[in-house]
Each structure stands twice: as structure tokens, then as C-alpha cells.
Copies of this chain bind each other. A is one copy, B any other.
Amino acid sequence: MTPLHAHPTVEIITIGDEILIGQIVDTNSAWMARELNKEGLRIVRISTVPDEQKAILDAIDLAFGRADIVLMTGGLGPTKDDITQQTLCLYFNTELVHNADVEETIRKQFVHRPEVLNELTMRQAYVPASATIVQNKRGTAPVTWFEKDGRVLVSMPGVPSEMEWVMSNEVLPRLMQRFQTPALLHKNVLVVGIPESTLALRLSEWEAALPLSLKLAYLPAPGMVKLRLSGHLNDKSLLEQMVEDECVKLRKILGKAIFAEVDAAPEELVGQWLRKHKRWIATAESCTGGNIARKLTSVPGSSDYFIGSIVAYKNEVKAQQLGVSHENLRLFGAVSREVVEEMAQGVRLHLSADIGVAVSGIAGPDGATEGKPVGTVWIAVCDRKKCLTRRFQFGQHRQRNIEMATLMAFTLIKELLEDE
């Protein structure tokens, strides 16, 4: 029997002293809220409580009074395991029992390094008897699913990579099956290089004229904004048509600022495009310090299109490893069109790539010169026939400048591939 809920409500409980003392930022809740919201689940409260039995019990009690679904994260490290599992046993009136499947799963994760599999980790094979065990392929902490009075509670680890795997692959699909949500459609549009406030102004007229059944969300990340157009209607094909009509208008307004119309990391998309066009890429990085290379190689299988990189932080490396001419370095400086194009062509030739990408700029806080303030960045993307070269003026914040330069390099790679 699956009860019908128009908009199932969710409460998130985050357990962890480390959050309450400000040692870590709770990014899990935001990630979960975003994913849940996409599926039509409404988050009514997020609470962070200490690693204390009474606090956890109180929080569960209150949450069950307000929400259909309670999602708990954290408090499951081997050192904290006891308190959360014991507390769940207390609340659901059950006891810890050894679970052979969980033990098997734990052992599997240590098959290549059995020497570090210790007693504390093995203790995680004891789980509340009345819980359903949910797979966690990213770690040893067991994920438990409880049912009570038509409501659901799931306890997950707080390590972001584990929680995200468990949510995406196990918990969300099960929740979707267990609760009914209205027909939902999301369209994601990645906009790169326009600050959120500027984008909001540019889109204000279009946004104001949106049909009532569509809702727009701005999801900003460093250097980009994800626009999410969501709708729920009973007629799915009508909904799809409405969304497409709005996207046509959006494309007219934003043009090339639209990086993609799917929900994926920019480096994954760049990888897909390079693979599709059968192009090998190499990067020559100064101020980004290897960030473009590490983003590209963070994608599994990137060895199909990524050759390597020369991080030329010092000018001598630019000259010796990339063949940048001393004269250009002297005449125009390292942050110039001339040098960045020589870097791109240099890395393309030296590493036998089809496409060379080069970045040279002043990430800050030091290094500004006359006419080249902090945030000045030159980027060149070259193939055998031509170079796309552009100067950017970012802000004062070092880390953000590096991220922005990386993203803008990705947009130039995209332009070059589209021109081919």
C-alpha cells in the first residue's frame, strides 16, 4: 500500500559536532535539497544537531511530526557509529544484530588491503534489526531505512561522496517508488561568464512573462549560473512544448553565453565534445596552475582525449618547454595575446596534440602591473589552422579568478570545436 501524497514533505537532520563548531560547512543539505526538489519533494526543515542521544531523539520526534520523510546524515563514522545506531534502535524499539551481507560488503572494500580492516570498521556490520539495509558502494557505513506510521526515515553517512552515491542510486529511486509526486519536468541551462545579478536583469522581462506553471530557479556556482526551468502539469507533452517554447526565447536572449542545455559538469561536456570530434587536447597553464588539466582528468576515461599539460609558472618554463620567444616576453609581458598564443601553439606542437589551450594572467593578490590589474587573464585555444584568443577581466579573488579562467577556456574550446 503506497499512500498518495501530492507533495511529500521532507525534513533533513544533520548530525555532527563538527558542523556545530563551524569546522565544516554543511554542503550535504544543499545538495540533498536540490536533488529532492527536482523530484517534486518539498523540504520543510533542515536541522543540525550534536552527536548526543537526546538531541537526536528530539529531532526525530519533531521531524516525524512535520514531514513524511526524514533523511538523516552523519554521525556514522566508525568512532561515532555506536551512538547513532543505538539511538535509532531506541527510537524504533529494536536492537543491533549482526548482518552477514553488510559484513560481506565491508570485507569486499578491503580485499586489496585487508591489513587496515580493523575491529571498529567491522563493528559497522551490527545494524538495527528492524531496518532495511540500503547499499552503500562508496564506504563501509551502513545505510538504514525505517518505516513507521506510513513515514520513512533513512540514515546515511555524512561523507559527501558516500551520501551522494547513496542518494542518487538507492534512496531517491526508492522514495520515488514509495511516494507519488506530480509529473515534473526540469530543463537545465548552463550559463557561463555572466554574473547572477546581470543575468537576472537581462532575463527580467522574459522571466516576468513566463507561464504560471513554469518556475525559474537561479543556481549559481563560481563563474556560472545554472538556470532551472521547472514545471508540473498533468499533460506531459504540453509541458514539454511550453518548456521548449521558452528555451527558444532564452537562446535568442543569451546566445553564446549558453554553455549547454544539460545538467552536467562543464569538464564532462568538454570531454564528450572532444571525444565526438576525435580531437586530442593539451594545455599550457600559467595562472591556472594546472587547474584545467586536473578538471579535464577528473573525468574517467579522459585519457581518450587528454595528452598532458605544461604548467609554466615561471617564464623560463614558458621559454624552454613551450618555445615562447624571449622577445615577446620582454616586449609584451607574460600576460599578453602574443605570449598566450605562443604557449598554446607550443604545447600543441611539443605534445603532438590537435588542440592547444593556454592561459596566462594575474590571479592575485599580487602581480598587478600598469594596465594589467589583478584579474587580467589572456586565454588562447588553437588548432592547426587558427587561434581563438581573448582577454578577460575578472575580479580580485584569486581562487575565483582561477575557476573563471578555467571555465572560459572551456567555452573557447567549445567555440573552436563548433567552428571546425
B298-A288 in contact (CB<8A): no
Enumerate A207-236 residues with CB–CB distance to B below 8 Å: 217-220, 226, 228
Query: A357-382: contact bitstring with B at CB < 8 Å (1 yes, 0 no)?
Result: 00000001111000001010000000
Does A388 sit at the interface, judged by CB under 8 A?
no
Query: A12-53: contact bitstring with B at CB < 8 Å (1 yes, 0 no)?
Result: 000001111111111101111111110000011111111000
Does A301 sit at the interface, judged by CB under 8 A?
yes
Does A148 sit at the interface, judged by CB under 8 A?
no
Residues of B contacting A300 in the complex (Cβ-Cβ under 8 angstroms)? 364-366, 398
Does A303 sit at the interface, judged by CB under 8 A?
yes
A33-B47 in contact (CB<8A): no
Give the residue name and chain of the B residue nearest to A226 (CB).
B23
The segment from A173-181, A252-260, A289-297 that touches chain B is A289-297
Q: Which of B23, B219, B226, B364 contacts A34 (CB 8 A)?
A: B23
Does A395 sit at the interface, judged by CB under 8 A?
yes
- From known contacts A26-B30, A109-B396, A200-B120, infer whether A297 and B321 are also in contact, taking CB-CB under 8 Å: no
Bound Cα distance from A393 to B113, whole angstroms: 7
Residues of B contacting A29 in the complex (Cβ-Cβ under 8 angstroms)? 19, 22, 26, 48
A23-B296 in contact (CB<8A): no
| Number of residues on chain A facing chain B (CB within 8 A) | 103
A321-B350 in contact (CB<8A): yes
Bound Cα distance from A228 to B298, whole angstroms: 31
Interface centre among A21, A27, A78, A161 (most CB of B within 10 A): A21
Besides A25-B25, A109-B395, A321-B351, 20 more A-B contacts (Cβ < 8 Å) are: A18-B217, A19-B33, A19-B46, A20-B46, A21-B37, A21-B217, A22-B36, A24-B30, A26-B46, A44-B55, A78-B196, A79-B196, A112-B393, A289-B296, A289-B302, A290-B290, A291-B294, A293-B311, A303-B314, A316-B352
Q: Which residues of A contact B (CB under 8 A)?
A: 17-27, 29-37, 43-50, 55, 62, 77-79, 109, 112-113, 116, 118-121, 138, 159, 161, 195-198, 200-201, 217-220, 226, 228, 283, 285, 287-294, 296-298, 300-303, 306-314, 316-317, 320-321, 350-352, 364-367, 373, 375, 393, 395-400, 402
